[in-house]
Structure 1
Amino acid sequence: MQRSPAFTAVSSFSPRRRSSAPTGCCSRSGVASPRRSDLAIKDMEVHGEERLCGKWKFACGLYSYNLRDVFTWRLLKTIFMGQVLSLLICGTAVSCQYLVTAGVETPMLQSFFNYALLLLVYTTTLCTRKGERNILQVLKTKWWKYLLMGVADVEANYAVVKAYQFTTLTSIQLLDCFVIPVLMVLSWFLLKTRYRLVHFVAVAVCLLGVGAMVGADIVAERHQGSTSDVVLGDGLVLLSAVLYAVSNVGQEYTVKNLSRVEFLGMMGLFGTLISGIQLAALETRAVAAIKWDLCISVLFAVYALCMYALYSFMPVVVKMTSATAVNLSLLTADLFSLFCGLYFFHYAFSTLYIVSFLVITVGFVMFNAAPTYSALPESGSDEDDGGADLTAESSSDRRMSAGGDTPGAETLPAAL
């Protein structure tokens, strides 16, 4: 267990000495030495704290944090960047809602435009590289891994949009949170990430915030979406959550150990291929029936650009934190969509929206305040990210290396 800086400072200031005086705290003249008595008291306090930390590791680690340790510039920057991602998702939701209102239901066509943009920017960048980072070398060694991630990502996007045709918005908001426990389980086994008890508490707090948001929907009696086949719709949401978790775990490993551009380039290549095939198979008639005008074109452009920005920006935030932390911050995306709905779709306002936002933010801060530990080394060899590398070191790496207490980190219990 790593001691707090305050405890370490006291230990270095109070060396263990054996006094030559019979009482251990008096000088030769029989008068107590203030300096020695103070040192003795401090030494007793330190040993008491050490015993307390040894017996109550989690409690000591939790209470040793102060506001400066928690609310760092890095955490505030992470919160801000997470909310930018939520706003981008909100942009996709609003534009998608307008498309559905206009009678356009082509989720695969919308995804195809996004993957095509990734292909044009990042895949072409991979083609210009030389050596092992060239696209041909990447395909020779890792093509099947990126193919699996591409299938998971494309089908996750398709399943969650398709679910709106069968189930309600409330069900989607609740079941979509299933991605977080699945992501934690996959990170535990595949990325060897070890969570503490405070992380599970933080996730529970965030889910309570989602419950407040759903409660506001129930009070407002707003159940957008059809209920023609609720079981099918709920199953699609759960399937999309599992597929998103698979894609996010692959993304976290790739951007922390390989390259952000490599990940996005491969997603653009395989995503365009898979979504193009599925588009031709499932949505040919729906695309032919679209009555293209300026409004429809702008909505498609807004959706594609928001998705492109989300895909380009999300790996940067994942590299700074983790895929689990990013998904916790994305829980506010539904709230932003509801706030936009107050203006665009004339939703009824509820104070539970504010409560939900605050509770989710508190849970997100709790999750990022305590470090996680991963047994897998991070190479941090992302040469193409420029300034992103300056923030590549995670908060867990810094805290576990502070004070030179690395052995303690290696034996960190799984639940702590």
Structure 2
Amino acid sequence: MATPFYPMASMVWFQCVFAAIALILLAGSLLGRMNIKAWMMFVPLWLTFSYTVGAFSLWGGGFLYHWGVIDYSGGYVIHLSSGIAGITAAYWVGPRTKIDRERFPPNNILLMLAGAGLLWMGWAGFNGGDPYSANIDSSIAVLNTNICAATSLLVWTWLDVIFFEKPSVIGAVQGMITGLVCITPGAGLVQGWAAIIMGILSGSVPWFTMMIVHKRWPLLQKIDDTLGVFHTHAVAGFLGGTLTGLFAKPVLCNLFLPVTNTRGGVYGGLGDIQFLKIVSLKRLDCGVQFMKQIVGGGFIIGWNVVVTSIICYLISLLMPLRMSEEQLKIGDDAVHGEEAYALWGDGEVYDSTKHGLSSPDNTTHGKIASRNTEMI
């Protein structure tokens, strides 16, 4: 076994951050109503029994890796798994209050834009760092990351203009994210023209599922996916994985994958001869990698649905997954004595027994915001 040119501690931290990102994305589906104690139980269980299975299967020398399923930088391992697990957990936890679902505007668009810029910059870093060396794969990955994200942002924005007659900052950021997610499975394995096509599709397909399908499918309407993680990460991640099966360039695949003669469907060729024999398609001259990508994505989807459901069910036997109605009316932050802007609105009177800042003595810090104030 070859010795890597970096300390193992670097790899541990690199993979630790990926695992943390997956959980942060998953949390986006559950914002505003999950019981914090249930969440603290959910995190280690999901990481251990769900995330790591996908990670080792695709990255750690597991069966999907040796079969030749491509996931260059986490389109399946991170984004598809967190999106599917998020919407599954949201089903089990239940929805927010009606008023929160009907109106949930962002409270700071400028801060959102700053975060989006940091996200875009950081994405180039982890996509470029996934070959674990400075080579042609890493250079192509960084370039394709920017190409796909920019294209997707423009397409999403144009769709907003065409159908809603005005652009949206939030829509532009969502388009950027879907582009970044879509290119992730094949960032260093496709050419620039393919990254443009992937950007066009990542700016349109998730837009369609979010704006059209979500509003017409009763199941999606019933499930309260707070930040739409299913559309921006699960749909975009699966889309990127399957498109990688079409556009992966053979010479780049040979630098990155253990299975020889791996190639995207548009490049033709026999691909994996052993796979063709198994499925009795000896004369098939393209599409093998595309089918592998679908199977690999299907495994990640199925595993996360089943394991996440089991975890949520077991936790529900010990404690409620959802906050009580009284706590939800107070707010998931305020109930812990926290406020982003320390404002009390709607004429609500501070109650130390509800808002988490009760004090055994009767000092000032136990009486914060004790009078009525109006929301600014």
TM-score scaled to structure 2, two decimals? 0.30
TM-score scaled to structure 1, two decimals? 0.28
The structure with the largest helix share of the pair is: 1
Higher relative contact order (CA 8 A, sep 6+): 1
